[in-house]
Amino acid sequence: RLVGRLAALPGVTAAVGDIGFPAALVDGGGRITPVDDDPQTAGHGWSSTRLLADARVKGRAPSGADEVAVDAGTGLTVGQRVDVVANGRPSASYRVSALVDAPGAGVWFADGTAARLAARDAGSEGPRAGT
């Protein structure tokens, strides 16, 4: 709602909301692997990639609840599956839809998925080992 009100202000050409929530990858051994300097805010909705200056994207936006885009530095490839923990929830498997090459890159979900994962009723302690 706030983004819509801001976008309607005179002189504003675009407004983008960003929600940051805990997210990290889980490697094959079950260890949590942060993809950002601050895993507490590494999860985002795809729309917020518009806030990244000079971001290069290989692939396409996540379009469903089972897709993510990840930092290009992870070594993952488009189409590969990866386990992700987000906002204290147990890890889940996602298909990589895009690689994002930008400073501070993290894990991007479809906007609706990000909103669901960021909901305050989730465990908000961040990624936990063994989940």
Q: What is the pLDDT of residues 80-131, one digit of tens each?
A: 999 999 998 999 999 999 999 987 778 999 999 999 999 865 444 544 555 4
Cβ-proximal residues to 39 (8 Å cutoff; 6+ apart), any chain: 22, 23, 24, 32, 126, 127
Tokens of 18: 């960003």
Q: Residue 131: its pLDDT value, please?
A: 46
Contact, 94 vs 85, CB < 8 A? no
Read off the tokens for 79.
């189409």
The H-assigned helical ranges of the chain are: 2-7, 111-118
- What is the percentage of the chain residues whose pLDDT exceeds 70? 89
Q: What is the pLDDT of residue 120?
A: 65
Q: Whole-prediction pTM value?
A: 0.82
pLDDT of 55 strictly over 90 = no
What pLDDT score does 70 carry? 94
Q: Please enumerate in sequence order all residues whose Cβ is within 8 A of that of 48, keeping only pairs 6 or more positions apart, or say none.
A: 16, 17, 18, 19, 108
Give burial (CB, 10 Å; 0-12/13-18/19+) of 74: middle
pLDDT (average), residues 14-24: 86
Q: Which among 70, 112, 115 is positioned nearest to 94, based on CA atoms?
A: 70
pLDDT at 94: 98
The alpha carbons of the chain give a radius of gyration, in whole angstroms, of: 15
- 16 confidence band (pLDDT: 50, 70, 90): confident
